Amino acid sequence: MSIRKKLLLSYIAMVVVPIIVFALTAVILVTLFLNDALGIKPLSRIIGDFENVKEFREAMDRKTEWTSGLAFFARHEPDRLEDAAFLEKTEKELDPLDIRLIIVAGDKVRYISPAIEDSSAAALPRLGEFDSSGAGGYHSDTFKLDGIDYTVLKYAFTLGDGSPGVLYILEEDRLADLARLFFVIVLLFVILIVGLTNGLLTYLVSRGILRPLDALKHAAEQIKEGNLDNELKVIRKDEIGQLSATFEEMRKRLRASIHTQLQAEENRKELLSNISHDLKTPITAISACAEGMRDGIADTPQKQAKYIEMIHSKAAHLDRLIDELFLYSKLDLRRLPFHFEQTDINAYLHAFADELHMHPQYSGIRIMYDHTQGKPVMAVVDREKLGRVIANITDNSLKHMDKKEKEIRIELFENKQLQEITVSIKDNGRGIEAAGLPHIFDRFYRTDLSRNNDTGGSGLGLAIVKQIVEEHGGRVWAESVPGESTTILFTLTTPKGYKGEHDEKDLDHRG
């Protein structure tokens, strides 16, 4: 569930839950008061009868009965209000109900309840302010006597001798106290429920937000301290979970980036070291030959010719090394443009094999190409870069041949299911040990650890092969049997499998 929905539901709950609780509380309290009167007894069945409430309710009913009866006597039998025995008996019934009587006939007080007799002098002048009431019941005419709130009912009557009189019924106002108590209880209860509801919902919602934020903060502090291995576990699916997943992905990429930078720095140091070594060797040889000629060591035409030939050889080697470094650098920085076109690889390899036959460097070496001539096999390639790939592979094979009868076999295989073709170039040289086989495409790697330029090249030839093949969207790998042969294989993409944009389309080059 999203945080937005959680907050919305929590806000709704903060409003709805207190309202429901308040309504239930009001229903419960009202039910307590109306329990027997309406015949509704939901609570008595669960927690028993509330005797105090029942007694209170019965007392209220008796008050109503007595006040109604006294009002009846005032209207229809006023002479009873002068009967001392009747008033004494009535007082015994009214005293437990906290009802007081004051009867005034003419200008004299004929009767006053003993409970308020001492305060009657202060009460009588104020009672005259109340209007007469023609019906029984409760109304708002109240006043305070000796610190007690009384509700006053006033009934006028006429005695048998024709003299007027007034009956005052004073009831202690317990309902006001009860209402205040009821209001305070309900208010406190509602405040408690609102506080608990809001507090609980706030705690649950905030915990669901703050805990993952604390985890994010800790993870960020770990990154700040340089620790990129502290994994942030993502178990949520809301907005914070998405943020955590993004943060974790950022951490992984940052760690990979830093690792790549460190590796690039190590490679740069290794590259500088290898370049320095490979450049220094021919320069040292050239310098030594020049010094020998300058000092007169080459004192015969034969020696001078030998020294000059050595200088030329080392200069040519130095030139090739610089060219390969320049080419590799542009490939590595992806600054070498490729011009892809559809090419018949079968015809292309036939033509390349024929060129190798005529090349003086490959004289005495048997060059074989096995594929049906005339059957087109189309691939998307940069013809010039592909020639560099094959030349580097065959040159590398030439340097490691140790058999009397030397041969290089070129083969072409089609894989229509994968929409690619495979070119295989195999020699019968001394092979490569299993430990060195995975590294032969690394830059500056040589199976000859002495880095002898006579038996090995610059160490960049196969690294350039890998770069060019991968730019074609292919793969390159090696297979070798030590002492017998080495095979370099690489793949090229057919026009149907090609996913890039090439400069020239629908061209059919056959040689």
Q: Are strands 108-112 and 378-381 parallel, antiparallel or unpaired?
A: unpaired
User: Could you tell me which CATH class the domain 239-328 is placed in?
Assistant: mainly alpha
Where do the CATH 3.30.450 domains begin and end in the chain? 51-172
- 410 burial (CB, 10 Å; 0-12 / 13-18 / 19+) is buried
Instruction: Supply the CATH classification number for the domain 51-172.
Output: 3.30.450
Where do the CATH 1.10.287.130 domains begin and end in the chain? 239-328
Highest mean pLDDT, choosing among 97-101, 264-268, 347-351, 504-508: 347-351
Q: How far apart are CA 99 and CA 182, in angstroms?
A: 23
Give buried/exposed letters for 279-294 (b at 16+ CB in 10 A, else e).
Answer: eebbeebbeebeebbe
Lowest mean pLDDT, pick from 62-71, 154-163, 324-333, 451-460: 451-460
The CATH number for 338-493, chosen from 3.30.540.10, 1.10.540.10, 3.60.20.10, 3.30.565.10, is 3.30.565.10
Q: Are strands 378-381 and 476-481 parallel, antiparallel or unpaired?
A: unpaired
Contact indicator for 402, 486 with CB cutoff of 8 Å = no
Where do the CATH 3.30.565.10 domains begin and end in the chain? 338-493
Lowest mean pLDDT, pick from 82-86, 206-210, 258-262, 404-408: 206-210
Local confidence band at 511 (pLDDT 50, 70, 90 cut-offs)? very low
pTM: 0.49
Q: What is the mean pLDDT of residues 313-340?
A: 82
